[in-house]
A and B are shown apart, each in its own frame.
Chain A
Amino acid sequence: MSDLLEKLRVALDVAALRSSVFAQNLANADTPGYKRKYVEFERLVRHQVDWQKIRPRVKTDLAPGSRADGNNVELEREAVEAAQNTLRYETLTKLAAAKLSRLLQTAREAR
């Protein structure tokens, strides 16, 4: 598989994982003592060329938060990040579709 497609696959996997983490945070927005989770990836792959082998990490945000029950989920923050994530995912699928159609074109012309 081409390097670009492999990178797109990893980026799509990270976005999918992120959407699950947002779902978990939002599902537990009323759970006392719950600490929000987040996916660490961009920071790990910075300045790396062959970053497709790096695995994303799910981390727990231990910030005390502003609520009395110890929960630090902020609905607005999660919603904004989830919206960004959705747009990123859709952009990535468009890029992948463009790459695949170019491959298909090449294959047709080689016939």
Chain B
Amino acid sequence: MPTKVPSQCDPANHGINDSEANANSRDFSFVVGGQLSSVREALSKIRDALASSDCSDEFIGRVEIVLAEIMNNVVEHAFAKGGGSHIDLSGTRDQYCWQFQICDNGRPMPDLELPAGELPTLQTDIEDTPEGGFGWAIVRDLTNEIHYSRQPGRNCLAFSIPLN
């Protein structure tokens, strides 16, 4: 396996040269259907793929919540009202991280950019405690170098998650 330095855990290096990436047998890619139950099934397969690649339970836990939040968001927003149908997800092992790319054929992100992901305030009366708005905060907290691009007919999100 080629030795890489942490700075190469950059999603810009991923997804362009697929032939090189696919040389690693630990890499994976899945096509995920446009329903929450499909996301749940895909997460189970991804857990298995990472476990067979000797990733720690702690790391797999971080990956699972990030991928769940992103794909649930795609299904609930980009695919709402027939806006899209499937998600292409791939994971590539690097020395210090895994790089992921998640593309979907749904509607674009509002304003063509990722939400800032600031946590909603909890300094409220109990009856006003927020029930949502946490997803992107979780994603941004657990990922590095996250990058969204709108391509013809699809959204692509690339990011890395450090092994430690």
Asked whether A and B interact, the reply is no
